[in-house]
Amino acid sequence: MILIVGLGNPGAKYAYNRHNIGWLALDDIAERYGFGPFRKKFNGVVAEGRLAGDRALLLKPHTYMNESGKAVSKAARFFKVPSDRVIVIYDELDLAQGKCRAKRGGGGAGHNGIRSIDSHIAHDYWRVRLGIGHPGDRQRVRGHVLSDFTDEDEDWLDPLLEAVAEAIPLLADGEHEKFMTKVALLTSKKKPAPQKPPVDV
């Protein structure tokens, strides 16, 4: 089994926050691959389906960000999922908007959700960081991550989420370089310029 975790905070007021980009990514994955409906379990909500020919579980912890590890460890223990078969998708301040990086293992880089997961399971799980950009001032970080995506953000957000969903089977197979390459290619495709109306002479 593959366990794919999207990090975020529960509650309607957080639903479209930058900090909840992991949840938004899981929604796209669930829709693309026909996962079952999300239901309450493991201090969160889960949906089951298949990826890369294997059974997969999507998990949105409902513990709030800094206790995410509790939900992840419960699901991993129940299904006996080794840490190298866990994928965690989350927001990254130090990546430009719309960028994606994936690696196995590493540190938390100040992310409370990752710090919590690191305290509950082995550190060699897959980390998928989705760039939300930095506000430029440390004092503005909290407001930035807990503010909603804007209409302008959708120009890069929607293609990013779609690309991650399309490429995630590669990462489920352990092909992280191919995963990142595919996401980069899909998000770099330029949209055709809008046609200008003809000018009356």
Kindly report the CATH number assigned to the domain that includes residue 36: 3.40.50.1470
For residue 90, what pLDDT band results from cuts at 50, 70 and 90?
very high
Quick check: is 43 in a domain? yes
Domain that holds residue 39: 2-187
DSSP 3-state helix, strand, coil percentages of the chain (rounded to 5)?
40, 20, 35
Mean pLDDT of the chain: 90
- The answer to whether residue 92 is domain-embedded is yes
Closest CA to 150 of 192, 88, 97, 92: 97
The residue behind tokens 């082995």 is: 122
Residue 180 covered by a domain: yes
Catalytic residues, by residue number, are: 19
Question: Tokens 């999922």 correspond to what residue?
Answer: 81
What average pLDDT does the segment 33-62 reach? 94
Q: What is the pLDDT of residue 190?
A: 52
Flag whether 201 is in a domain: no
Q: Is residue 40 part of a domain?
A: yes
- pTM of the entire predicted model: 0.90
Cα–Cα–Cα angle for 154, 34, 179, rounded to 5 degrees: 60
Count how many domains the chain has. 1
| Residue keyed to tokens 């909290």 | 142
Domain assignment present for 126:
yes
